[in-house]
Amino acid sequence: MPVKGRFAPSPSGRMHLGNLFSFLLAWLSARHEGGSLVLRVEDLDPVRCLPAHAWQLMEDLEWLGLNWDEGGDVPSYWQSNRSHLYAAAFQTLEARGLTYPCFCSRLQRLNEAPHIHQVSPSCPCAALTPEEAAQRTKEKTPSYRLRVPHKTVSFVDGLQGPCSQDLAADCGDFPIKRSDGAWAYQLAVVVDDAAMGVTQVVRGRDLLSSTPRQLWLYQVLGLPAPEFYHVPLLLAPDGRRLAKRDADLDMGALRRRFSPQELLGLLSRMAGQQKTAEPVSAAQLVSTFDWLNVPREDIIVAPELLS
């Protein structure tokens, strides 16, 4: 089956070096196999996500020579236009008795931070009878959680190797819909990767712990799961993870200081694809790309990148 990779940015700010590192590897991996890529805009959160950031991100990727074959500015590839698909998946789960309404107020916050692994606390709402739940729904709009069993989900990550989690102990019943009606990242990403025929997910290692929950959703929804590669995060010299707030390493600042080839040279050395940081185009890296040379551990940003 031909490889289909994806870029799945959340347009909540200017792309930074860490996003770019993951996108470069996603692009190289798909292109090396002669595969295609989808660009899906993950704008589920209407407060944090702005179309202007998505347009800028696409322009930044084009500047770097990282192209895609589907999606991008096509409205149906923006998650804010795909609610009907998440609602249909939710109904499937609900019809199978796998969801329950939750009236606890902490859920909203849990759902906003997929990059930070948190075990969903055991919830008293799991034990409510349908009558009790219906009664409480009249007073408060609930969130919904997916009921998970004590089951170990194991998989082999293409870069990190064998991984496993006990769903109940390591994840807990996790939110799939917020009380304000917003769909959870975990549900949307699974529905979309399956609907778009994605076969290969390359993303930051901070999402490794979400993968067993997503594999469980693929299984209960009867959808084919992609293969996963979780790539290292980039760290500041003090060991801190780079974030969108590190404005000196966002694309605006980087584009003022480097040409696309210079930036790709530095990134490809960090990614183990070149011995030196010699300037290079994205296309020149495709034929020699090799996952075996990509480091597994988080990487301190090359000193040349720090102004």
Q: Which of 46, 57, 47 is nearest to 19 (CA)?
A: 57
**Options 58, 102, 159, 189; binder of ligand GLU; rule CB under 6 A:** 189
Between 74 and 243, CB nearer to ligand GLU? 243
The region of 6-14, 85-93, 235-243, 295-303 touching ligand GLU under the rule CB under 6 A is: 6-14
Between 66 and 207, CB nearer to ligand GLU? 207
Q: How far is the CB of 181 from ligand GLU (least distance, A)?
A: 19
Pairing of strands 70-71, 36-39: parallel
Q: How far is the CB of 193 from ligand GLU (least distance, A)?
A: 8
CB 177 within 8 A of CB 143: yes
Q: What are phi and psi of 135, to 5 degrees?
A: -60, -45
CB 252 within 8 A of CB 20: no
Q: Map residue 99 onto helix, strand or coil.
A: strand
Q: How far is the CB of 6 from ligand GLU (least distance, A)?
A: 8
**Adjacent-strand bridge partners of 231:** 204
What's the Cα-to-Cα distance from 302 to each of 235, 253, 260, rounded to whole Å?
10, 16, 16
What number of residues does the chain have? 307
Residues 63 to 122 in contact with ligand GLU, rule: CB under 6 A:
none
The burial class, CB within 10 Å (0-12 / 13-18 / 19+), for 286 is middle
Which 8-state DSSP code applies to residue 296? S
* DSSP string of 248-259, one letter each residue: GGBHHHHHHH--
Q: How far is the CB of 209 from ligand GLU (least distance, A)?
A: 12
How many residues at the interface with ligand GLU, by CB under 6 A? 7
The region of 3-11, 95-103, 221-229, 252-260 touching ligand GLU under the rule CB under 6 A is: 3-11
Between 6 and 177, CB nearer to ligand GLU? 6
x/- letters, 201..220, toward ligand GLU (CB under 6 A) = --x---x-------------
Between 123 and 177, CB nearer to ligand GLU? 177
The tokens describing 33, both together, are 């196999």
Q: How far is the CB of 226 from ligand GLU (least distance, A)?
A: 10
The tokens describing 188, both together, are 């949307």
10 is an interface residue for ligand GLU by CB under 6 A: yes
Q: Which of 15, 11, 81, 82 is nearest to 252 (CA)?
A: 15
Between 10 and 165, CB nearer to ligand GLU? 10
Q: How far is the CB of 128 from ligand GLU (least distance, A)?
A: 31
Q: How far is the CB of 205 from ligand GLU (least distance, A)?
A: 11
Q: How far is the CB of 19 from ligand GLU (least distance, A)?
A: 7
Between 45 and 166, CB nearer to ligand GLU? 45
CB 195 within 8 A of CB 85: yes
The burial class, CB within 10 Å (0-12 / 13-18 / 19+), for 227 is middle
Which 8-state DSSP code applies to residue 244? T
Residues 15 to 74 in contact with ligand GLU, rule: CB under 6 A:
42
Gyration radius from the chain CA atoms:
20
Between 42 and 60, CB nearer to ligand GLU? 42
Between 123 and 190, CB nearer to ligand GLU? 190
Return residues touching ligand GLU (CB under 6 A): 8-10, 42, 189, 203, 207
